[in-house]
Structure formats: structure tokens, C-alpha cells
Chains A and B, each alone.
Chain A
């Protein structure tokens, strides 16, 4: 029996096990919304902006391990997705995004709300296609989910013209799909792996560098086993933090631009660097000529194109982290790394990761309270200084997960991603750590949190500035704070060098903002108030709680390596 395209669409979602989608209606998807109205298996979350929508889907996907599904209309609905697509592409988040499109007969006519969304998003999606024929719809939907969730996961965009949605055709939804150009690598080259292990075993100063691929590949247990068996110390990237519990004695901390002193020195001094699930981004390597200069490098990654792109490696291995580590665990034997670890410990005590404790509340204190308060939590950050402090000071791993926009660094990610995570994990505490800049980029999503009954705790670090850029201006641009003061108004001095008595009040008042949505608002200015505020937030299960932490404008993220400099050259 033939069915309409829109019916097949809903059937496909069901068969793929989708129970939640993030959708914003519009002219070219009204048919699909109408079909979704007639059923109860799939919940449709209505956000307040399509950028918020796709960040919510990312948070949902990260927190649940499922594919995040988006449904938006053509034209502006589709173009508003682009930042989120790029974000998911960079951080390998499985998304399937459906965009409505004008009818096939109108494509190319500059019709109302027509854009070539597949063309616009080609470089930021894993796969994208416009459905040209109703008979292809089932196969394309199947392909979309298959491609999004297998191999190196990523966003897929399927553009569905309105006439395809209403046209009758085959009711079959294929059980599986074979794509001749897409065969994700599932095996491990044992010979290469043996070579890697021999090299690692011969090392006097071995170091493991773990990236986000450990989380994506669900290889945390295997990595922990491997680390414990070999006794090799481990550093992580930001995306890799929590790969093994941060409290583990063999875990050193993050390396990279804002990494720990001891970690960056360890990378520079190690003789074998065993890296897994990282693509050697410039924030990790700094000056490529000076990166791990004494080390032979082993690189395991699922993406062939990530290997030997930035850093030339000695033993390249294309593999998923989990099967590779499973195999390595079979061979793993204890290595004598005691002296090497003592040395690293020495560097750490020379320059520990620590903020002043002599005057006022610091971000570190807030993070420490969060660490104490939540044993099990999903912590979501926005982008900026607060994000770096979170990645420096949060205790992660085990039952505490971090979700952050790592590759693209999209401000505005935090609140919607936290809402998506809460929708996916309603019984877990979800804490959104955000800044006053990033929060304002998608704060309309507060309404989504309210209507979805998603009581997230928002820890908003307000320093009145776009702090990450301000920090660069303070250090490298002669304290000329161009465009970074959020209190600045018409009439302020053109050459203002920082806060003074004449500064206008901050807009908006975030506590009032929370209250006008029916959320709870608390302002914290001293350390003594942190505990109480977090406890109140924990009790508020009816609505989100926004805690505004007023922090010093002068607080900067340290250590810091200036972009393009060697990792050893840290500002401490």
C-alpha cells in the first residue's frame, strides 16, 4: 500500500527509535508537523530560535548517545542551523537535520523562503542531499541515520521539498542500507598496533594524550585498564577530559593553550607520545616545529584524514579507540615510570594550577563548590573564560560528564545544549556554566527550559566583559579594550582603560531576567554565598535556577600560550 512522504517520514523516525525531536515549524514543514500532531510516540520540542534548536539537539545527543534530530523549515529556518551544523561537524556529534524546501517545481526560481541549503552546508556536514524523487525518500532517510551515527559521527542534512512530503509512494522503510562509497573502518591493523606497543614499551618517558575520541568511541573503561596496567601517565585535551576519572593518580590534567604547566612540559619532554582520539588541533600543539620535540609519536584515530595532517607521526593507526585499546590491554605490562612521574610531579609543584585565595571569590572556588555538590551530573559550558576555568578545575569522569563546544567554539552553545541534555537525561543534574556574553546569545531559550520543565542550574559568570578577548587585549594589545566591555554605552570615553566609578549599570539584570520567565534568580558576590545558592538551585525542581556570580574583571585564564608559540612558553 502506498503512503505519503510525510507518513513515511514519521514511520522512519519510529523505526530509528527516535522519541524526541527538536522542531520549529514553517511553511515548508507544516505537513510533517501535521503528521507529528497525530501521534504520541515522538515528542516535539519547540525551541525559540533555530540556532538554539540545533544546540539543544547537540546537547541531547551528547548526553544520551543517541542521534539528535532537528526539523526546521526552508529559508531562514535552514540558514539558522548552519552554526550548529559546523559545531557538530567539528565535535563529531551525530545529528540528522531535516529542512523543508520549496516544491521541486519552484527550486531555482528565487521562491519565497528558498535557499540552497545543501550547497551552503556542504563543507560543514558529513553528508547532505535534497530529496529529488519520492521513491528515494525511504533509502535517503535510512542513509541519514546510518551515516550520522557510524564511523566518525557527524551531522547529516536532508532537504525535503514540500511536494515530496505529500506525494504518495512506497511505504517500505529499508531495514539496512549499503553505500558503496561509505564503509567506516571497523578493523584494527594488528601489525601496526604491535609496532606501536613495542615503541611505547621501549620508552623511558612515555605519555598518553587522550582526546574526545575516547568519549565518542565509549573507550573509557579500556583506557583506564590500559593506563593502570602500564602505569603510564595521561594528559587530555579539553574534549578528552574525563576520559579516565580526573581524580586518578595517573591523570595529570589538560595540555594545550590553557593546559597545566606540568602537562605541557611533560608533552615537550616525553620520549614516546601515545595519542588517541585527538586530531592535534593548533590549541594542543602550538608551534608545530616545537611540539613534542623529543618524542616518537603514535597516533590512533578513526579518521584517516586526521592522521599526519598537522603532526607527522611515527606510527599511524586508523582505528576506533575501543577495539584498539581492547587489543592493547591484552599485551599491556607494567612499565617502570616512577622516576618520570616524580619528575612531572616536581614540575607541577613548581607551578600548580591555582588561583589566588587572598581576596574575594574566584572562578576556582565556584568550580570547587560544584565539584563538592554534585557527585553525578552533566555539566555543559558555553564558550570563553568560564569554559577554560571549567575544563581546568572541574572533576570529571565516571558519573560526571562535560559537554562543551570544543572545535568551533560557538558562543551561545551553553544554555540550549544544557536544556537538550536535561531533556535527554531528566533524572540527572544538569549544570550550565556560562558567561555573560555567551548567555545573551541564546537566552531566549530560557522559555524552552520553562515549557519543557527542564530545571537546569545556570551558573552565569558575570565579569561585565567578553573576557577571553579582553584577556588578549590586556596581555597583547596594550589594554585597549575595543568592543569587549558589555557595560559600555553611547557617551563612554573612547579610550576607556577599564572599570571606574562612572561605569553605567549592566544590562540586563540577570536575576530579574530569570524571574520574568518564571525561573529562579540568585545573585552571588562572595564565596560564603556559593554553597547556599547551589543548594537552593538543587532544591528548585520546578523551574531553572540562574545564579549570577559577579566575578572580578581582572581574573584571567592562566597558564596561557600565545597562539602559534611553542607550548613550553607559557604565561604563568
Chain B
């Protein structure tokens, strides 16, 4: 069992998201995240899907997606060089001014932006890989007692020349 990534081109039509997500629930596939948005062609949407599965199930997932009429193309991103980022907001609340400094230091180390600030809270805006975001959340949780997280699910695109993920 491991995380795998799929880029999925689909018709930009009513019900397609429900059909794709319905496949995952109906067949008990373990969906981790799914993001969707239109592409440069307004009639086509692109999804970035992360699933946790074994090899056999993953093959089956790709085949099942492929045979949907509304699916135009399935690209397996698991083993290709890609750029992947996830948007995440982290609000750290109920903290003293010394703790606010600490949040700023963390922001610096993680190279994330401070998007907003108040007397006792700071809002971080992060565009990191999913794993890096996880690490940041763990760190914030261990240091502060009241944090609020909202994350968007990852988007990914094939790399041009680099091999970063």
C-alpha cells in the first residue's frame, strides 16, 4: 500500500465529478485527495487524484477510470518527475507576542508567507508539497494548542526539465 497520483482529463460537464468520486466510494478505493479545475480548454477539466492502494488495485482504478465515457485521458504520475503543490492556510490562535515571533521563525524556515496577523494570532499561507505541509502541521500542533487548518488537496503537473516532486 502506498500513495499514488493520477492526472485525469475529463469532460467539463455536470455530474462528472460525482461519477468519478462515486467510482471510488462504490468500489471501496481509498481516495486521499481530489482536486479539480478547468484547463486552458474550457470544455476540459483536469483532476489531480491521490489514492492509497496496492499495485493490483491501482491498475484496476486506472482501467475503471479509462472506461468512463466522460474520461478523456488518464495519466499515472506516480513515477514521473512532477511539480506538485498544495495550498494550505494555518491559523495559529491564542498566542503571546513571544510565541508570535516563533511562528515567524517557523514561517521563515518553511519558506511560507505570513498572510495576516492580529494581537494574538497569525495566519500562514503555504504552497508546499503535501508532505512538507504535513510536517508543518505536525510542528505547529506540537508547539501551539489552538490551530486551525484548511488545505486544498494537491495539484500536480509533469516537470519540464527538473526532477523535483
Contacts and interface: CB of A to CB of B under 8 A. Distances in A.
A123 B26 contact: yes
A305 B64 contact: yes
B22 interface: yes
Contact of A122 (B15, B66, B71): B15
Nearest to B13: A129
Given A126-B69, A305-B63, A308-B56, 18 more contacts: A118-B15, A119-B18, A122-B15, A122-B18, A122-B22, A129-B13, A130-B14, A130-B15, A147-B69, A179-B69, A180-B72, A181-B10, A181-B73, A304-B63, A304-B66, A305-B64, A305-B66, A309-B60
Interface of B: 10-11, 13-15, 18-19, 22-23, 26, 56, 59-60, 63-64, 66-73
B15 A305 contact: no
A132 B14 contact: yes
Contacts, number: 44
Contacts of B10: 181
Nearest to B25: A123
Contact of A304 (B13, B18, B67, B71): B67
Interface string A473-496: 000000000000000000000000
B60 A181 contact: no
Contact of B60 (A123, A126, A182, A305): A305
Nearest to A119: B18
Interface string A89-100: 000000000000
Given A304-B67, A305-B64, A305-B67, A119 B15 contact: yes
A131 to B, nearest CB: 11
A127 interface: yes
Contacts of A180: 72
4 closest pairs, A vs B, by CB? Answer: A305-B63, A181-B72, A127-B69, A182-B69
A303 interface: yes
Contacts of A123: 22-23, 26
Interface string A297-319: 00000011101110010000000
27 contacts: A119-B15, A122-B15, A122-B19, A123-B22, A123-B23, A123-B26, A127-B69, A129-B13, A130-B15, A132-B14, A181-B11, A181-B69, A181-B70, A181-B71, A181-B72, A181-B73, A303-B67, A304-B63, A304-B67, A305-B60, A305-B64, A305-B66, A305-B67, A308-B56, A308-B59, A309-B63, A312-B56
| Most-contacted residue by chain B among A179, A181, A182 (CB, 10 A) | A181
Contacts of A129: 13, 15
A299 to B, nearest CB: 13
A34 to B, nearest CB: 28
Contacts of A309: 60, 63
Nearest to A151: B67
Contacts of A304: 63, 66-67
A147 B18 CA distance: 20
Contacts of A182: 69
A81 to B, nearest CB: 18
